[in-house]
Amino acid sequence: MSGQDSPWDVIIVGAGAAGLFCAGIAGQRGLRVLLLDHSDKVAEKIRISGGGRANFSNRELDPQAPHRHFIGANPDFCRSALSRYTPGDFMGLMTRHGVAFHEKHKGQLFCDRSAEDLIQVLLREAEAGGVVRRQPCRVTAVRHGADGTYALDTDGGCERGRALVIATGGLSIPKIGATDFGHRLARQFGLRLVDTRPGLVPLTFDGDGWAPYTGLAGLALPVGITTGAGRERGAFVEDLLFTHRGLSGPAVLQISSYWTPGAPIAIDLAPGTDLLAALMQAKGTSRRRVANELATLMPGRLADAWVQGDADWQRPVAEASNKALARLADRLARWQLVPAGTEGYRKAEVTLGGVDTRDLSSRTMESKQPGLYFIGEVVDVTGWLGGYNFQWAWSSAHACAMALPQGHSSG
C-alpha cells in the first residue's frame, strides 16, 4: 500500500512508546496509518528502560493533580489526557495480552519478564490496526499543501497524509537515535518551544570541595534531597549513589529535573534521624570516636570521609564539645552543595522543555497548525522517575489517536 496515490489518513513520525501506541489505536479506529522511524530498531528506549523490564506506568499517578508528578511550564496541561487514559487502562491492556507485571515501591509498575513483552504488545496492537511501519526511513523535509495535506520527503519517496503526528521524543540518549527533529519541525510551523535541558540525569561536581568524596564511588544510602523554592521546589526521599564524577541514584535523578545551574542542592544524609540527640546520647555512654558513632547511623566510609573536615570531629565522642557535635549534626542534615553540571543528554533519561503546551490542545494534542499533532516527550511535559513519562506517552497518544479525523478512504 502506498500513500502516493491517495493520502494516508495519518502519518506518524517516531516508532517509540507514544508513536507505536498512537498508531495502533488510530489503525483500529479504521484509519490508514503510516508509521516512520529513522532507526532500524523499534522502541529502543522501551527496551533499555527499567533495567530491561520497562517501568511502564505508576499506580500512584493522580490524573486530577498532575502537578504532583509532572514538570513543565503548565503541568495542568496533561490533566485531560491522563484522566481519559489512566494507568489502570494500560494495566488492562497488558493483562489482555497476557503480560505479567508487578508493582515495586511507590507504585512503580514493571514487566515481570522483559521490556520486550511490552514492545510486542504495542507491535501486536499496531498489526491489529493494519499499520504500515517503515524502518529505517528518514524524513528529510515536510511541507503543508494548499489542499491541507502534509507531504513528507523520505528515503522511500514522497508520502502524503491528511494528518501528521510527531512522536520523535526528546534529546536524551543520542546513541539510540535521539534527535531534535520534532523541535525543528515545530519551529518550521511557527510553534513556540520551551528551552530544553537534560532531566532525570546524574549531577557532576569538581574542584577541591569535592575532593573528600571522590573515594566514595559506588556507595549508596537513602537521603532527603531538595532544591529550588515555591512552585519550582523539588523534595524527595530516595537512594543516593556516589559516582566517580559526582552523584546519581533515584534521589539525584529526581532532583535534577528541578535543579537550575548555579543553584545549591541540600541533602539530609540521615533522614528521619535526630542526629544531635543520637550523638549527645553517645557522648554520655561511649568511648568510641565520633566517626565510629556516625557509622551506626550511615555507611562507615561516608562517616570517615565526613569527619576529615574538622579536627573537633576526629576525637572520641565523649571529648567532643556540644557545639562541635551540634555543628556536625546540622551539616549532615543540611549538606549544601552546588553541582558543577550534569552528565548531559548522554545519560539523561528524559528531556525537559519542548513544544510549548500553549500552542497545543490539551484534549486532542493538535497544534495551532491544523492537522499537526505532537505527543509524548517532544512536548513540554516531563514526569518524575518511576513510570510517569511512559504513562504520559500512552495518555497523550490515546488522546491524539481518538481525536484524529476519519479520512475519506477509511472503512
Residue found by looking up cell 537521603 in the block: 223
Q: Tell me the backbone φ, ψ of residue 25, rounded to 5 degrees.
A: -65, -45
Per the DSSP assignment, residues forming a β-bridge with 71 are: 382
Q: Which long-range contacts (CB under 8 A, 24 or more apart) does 335-339 make?
A: 335/266, 335/267, 335/268, 335/269, 336/264, 336/265, 336/266, 337/205, 337/209, 337/264, 337/265, 337/267, 338/262, 338/263, 338/264, 338/265, 339/203, 339/204, 339/205, 339/246, 339/247, 339/259, 339/265
Contacts of 351 (CB under 8 A, 6+ apart): 169, 170, 171, 172, 178, 196, 197, 198, 199, 345, 377, 382
Contacts of 96 (CB under 8 A, 6+ apart): none
Per the DSSP assignment, residues forming a β-bridge with 332 are: none
pLDDT of residue 232: 82
Would you state the cell numbers that stand for residue 268, as one nine-digit string?
Answer: 539530609
Alpha-carbon distance 133 to 165, whole Å?
A: 14
Cα dist from 125 to 31, 130, 225, 265, 318, whole Å: 14, 9, 41, 44, 68
CATH topology agreement for domains 8-198+350-403 and 202-343: no
Reading the chain (411 residues) residue by residue, the pLDDT tens digits are: 444 468 999 999 999 999 999 999 999 999 999 999 999 999 999 999 999 999 999 999 999 999 999 999 999 999 999 999 999 999 999 999 999 999 998 999 999 999 999 999 999 999 999 999 999 999 999 999 999 999 999 999 999 999 999 999 999 999 889 999 999 999 999 999 999 999 999 999 998 889 889 899 999 999 999 999 887 899 999 999 999 999 999 999 999 999 999 999 999 999 999 999 999 999 999 999 999 999 999 999 999 999 987 899 999 999 999 999 999 999 999 999 999 999 999 999 999 999 999 999 999 999 999 999 999 999 999 999 999 999 999 999 999 999 999 875 433
Q: Can you give the residue ranges of every domain in the chain?
A: 8-198+350-403, 202-343
Which of 3.40.50.720, 3.90.190.20, 3.20.20.70, 3.50.50.60 would CATH assign to domain 8-198+350-403?
3.50.50.60
**CA nearest 124: which of 46, 32, 24, 1?**
24
Handedness of CA 134, 160, 182, 111 (dihedral sign): negative
Are 13 and 19 within 8 A, CB to CB? yes
Is the bond preceding 264 in cis, omega lying within 30 degrees of 0?
no
Q: Tell me the backbone φ, ψ of residue 356, rounded to 5 degrees.
A: -65, 125
CATH architecture of 202-343: Beta Barrel (2.40)
Q: What is the DSSP string of 300-335?
A: HHHHHHHHTT-GGGSSBGGGS-HHHHHHHHHHHHSE
Cα dist from 90 to 86, 240, 286, 395, whole Å: 7, 30, 56, 9
**CA nearest 12: which of 237, 163, 175?**
163
pLDDT of residue 186: 98
Are 151 and 159 within 8 A, CB to CB? yes
Alpha-carbon distance 43 to 56, whole Å?
A: 13
Cα dist from 180 to 164, 373, 381, 395, whole Å: 17, 16, 16, 22
Are 11 and 132 within 8 A, CB to CB? no
Residue found by looking up cell 537534560 in the block: 198
pLDDT of residue 408: 55
Are 30 and 408 within 8 A, CB to CB? no
